[in-house]
Structure 1
Amino acid sequence: MGMLRVMSRRGDDRISWDSKKLEVHDPEAMAAIREAERIFNEERMKGATAFKVEPGKGVERIDTFDRTAEQIVLVPRVVGG
């Protein structure tokens, strides 16, 4: 299972996809991954920072969407004021 988490004032929004179903081009899994990638790119364009989170490994900052990641967390740009 893969998951994209987008942090916000409301908590976090989540999009998940089944990696095994992606391998067989399941339409629902393909639609979920396209939506996750669209959101990832949109949020990155707004200045969000992305991190790949894998159990047993350190957190890794990423610049491009990784459909093989177990979890990607997007943190919006912090603006002072």
Structure 2
Amino acid sequence: MGMLRVMSRRGDDRLTWDEQKIQTGDPEAVAAVKEAERIFEQEKAKGATAFRVIDGNPVQRIDKFDATAEQIVLVPRVVGG
């Protein structure tokens, strides 16, 4: 299972997809990963930073959506003031 987490004032919004179902062409799984990629691109355009999280490994910053990632966390741009 893959998961996209978008941090916000409410905590985080989550979208999940099943990579195995994507490989079999399941329409719901394909739609979920397309929506995750759309959100990823939208948030990156706003200045968010993305990280790939894999249990037991260091967090890795990414610039492109990876549907095979176990978990992607998007952190919005922090505005000081």
In which range does the TM-score fall when normalised by the shorter chain? over 0.9
Any stretches of 5+ residues in structure 1 without a counterpart? none
Structure-2-length-normalised TM-score: 0.99
Structure 1 CA distance for aligned equivalents of residues 57 and 22 of structure 2: 24
Structure 1 CA distance for aligned equivalents of residues 28 and 75 of structure 2: 26
Please list every run of at least 4 consecutive aligned residues from structure 1 whose deviation after the TM superposition is greater than 3 angstroms: none
Structure 2 CA distance for aligned equivalents of residues 73 and 25 of structure 1: 25
Any stretches of 5+ residues in structure 2 without a counterpart? none
Q: Tell me what 1:52 maps to.
A: 52
Structure-1-length-normalised TM-score: 0.99
- Per-residue CA deviation, residues 45-74 of structure 1 (Å, 9 max, x unaligned), is 000000000011110000000000000000
**Matched positions, count:** 81
Q: Tell me what 2:79 maps to.
A: 79
Give identity over the alignment, percent. 72
